[in-house]
Amino acid sequence: MSVVTHGVLGHREPWTVADVEALPDVGDHVRYELLSPGVLTVSPAPGTAPQRVSRVLANLLEDAAHRCGADVEVLEAVNVEHPDGRLTTPDIAVVDGRVADTDPVRYASSAVLLVVEVEPQCGHRTRPDARQRGHKAASQGLPPPE
């Protein structure tokens, strides 16, 4: 994880959601987030093992939601915008199905019912921002990441 406050990529002011969305996609699956308002956080794409776990868990959540008739969508790595100016990309988000049907570029945190962050096993690459993500999610009324 790298944190960029300003002066990188020609950017001089605090980062905004619009600034992050304007960054070019260079195809490397890097995640750009605002875990703290105005501060750009850059994280590498998850490794293979966490992606496998994420996909299996997303499939289980999707199946459970379908069986109980919940109007939700289970999505991986979508942007979630928080009222305080943060932009996060949880590994899995369960969102209101009516909002998902509108195909938004990002989801308001009020449309997110559950977020999950997948942590690698001990001895593998870790995400130093995971604890920060959990505390930030809980402070916005979202369930903390699992």
Residue 7 identity: G
- Mean pLDDT over 67-96 rounds to 96
Architecture of domain 2-139: Alpha-Beta Complex (3.90)
| Residue 91 pLDDT | 94
Report pTM: 0.77
* Whether pLDDT at 64 is above 70: yes
pLDDT above 80: residue 63 = yes
pLDDT digits (tens, 9 = 90+) for 30-40: 889 999 999 99
What is residue 131's predicted lDDT score, i.e. its pLDDT?
53
Write the pLDDT tens digit of every residue in 2-28. 565 555 567 778 999 999 998 887 777
The span from the CA of 5 to the CA of 14, in Å, is: 7
Q: Enter the tokens of residue 7.
A: 């002066």
* pLDDT given for residue 127 in this prediction: 52
Question: Per-domain residue ranges for the chain?
Answer: 2-139
Distance CA 2, CA 40 (A): 8
Distance (Å, rounded) from C-alpha 110 to C-alpha 83? 9
Of the candidates 33, 4, 26, the residue with the CA atom closest to the CA atom of residue 117: 33
The model's pLDDT over 82-140, given as tens digits with 9 standing for 90+, comes to: 999 999 999 999 999 999 999 999 999 999 999 999 987 655 445 555 555 555 555 55
Q: Are 88 and 106 in contact (CB under 8 A)?
A: no
